[in-house]
Amino acid sequence: MSRGFRSHPYRFALLALTGLVLCTSLFAQDVAENNDGETPGPRSYMGREIAQTMHYAGAPWLMRESRQREEDCETLLAALKVQPGQIVCDMGCGNGFYTLPLAKQVGEGGKVLAVDIQPEMLHLLDERAKVEGIENIELITGTQTDPQLAPGSVDLILLVDVYHEFSHPRQMLEAMHKALKPNGRIALAEFRLEDRNVPIKRLHKMSKKQILREYEASGFRLVEEFDKLPWQHLMFFSRSDSGQ
């Protein structure tokens, strides 16, 4: 989930992240090699260029001090309306920025399925969970085409600024469709392409129009929108064949 700030109030942050971005580019091939030798995916999907996956060397960026101020992560979490006892998947969990608070929300009777294609990210998450004494997280090493989720097992799948980096979006959407319970939901957060004031590179943004085009083509329907985040769309989808 590498990002690029472009507006000049963020020059300091850009300088601090220069080495990180270079590292992400240098190690891009490693990401592909970590995924069971799967063939590279398409460079574009339904008219959208697919962004490069963030390498685990960039994990510190996910924990930056400014993230709450920039993205209002607490409001995003509240908007999910997670309930105790639910099974929630943090798809593309990285080092667990959202995984740990989700685990607290679902409580001892629930579980968070933390999926990432890089074992190194999952190791970082595991170390953080151990420090906080959180034990209701299941670490899952997914592949580029399969998140390794049991059919009909998940109440909510959360994707924060990660879907646009899926190398095989069609296959992943199909897999998530199967993994949802009949009344399960996907919560998709993506930086707003429509808003020029969002200081993120175009490649790492998505428009609502594009999101709808891709999700509806894979058997999902939009059931709710939350438009109160500073930089991101937050859109909720259910299976088209569900009763929601």
**Sole residue written with tokens 């099974």:** 87
Q: What pLDDT sits at residue 162?
A: 98
pLDDT at residue 39, rounded to an integer:
66
Cα dihedral value 74, 77, 83, 88, nearest 10: -140
What fold is seen in the domain 8-239? Rossmann fold (3.40.50)
Q: What is the pLDDT of residue 24?
A: 37
Q: What is the pLDDT of residue 244?
A: 64
Give the span between the Cα atoms of 82 and 96, in whole angstroms: 17
Adjacent-strand bridge partners of 158: 90, 187
Q: Give me 146's structure tokens.
A: 């399969």
The residue ranges of the chain whose pLDDT is under 50 are 1-2, 5-37
pTM, two decimals, is 0.85
Q: Compute how many other C-beta atoms are within 10 angstroms of the C-beta atom of residue 6.
A: 13
Q: What CA dihedral angle connects 95, 228, 218 and 146, to 10 degrees?
A: 0
In terms of DSSP bridges, do strands 232-239 and 180-192 run parallel, antiparallel, or are they unpaired?
Answer: antiparallel
* Proportion of the chain in helix, strand, coil states, percent, rounded to 5: 40, 25, 40
> Scanning the structure block, which residue is given the tokens 């129009």?
209
Strand partners, 226: 234
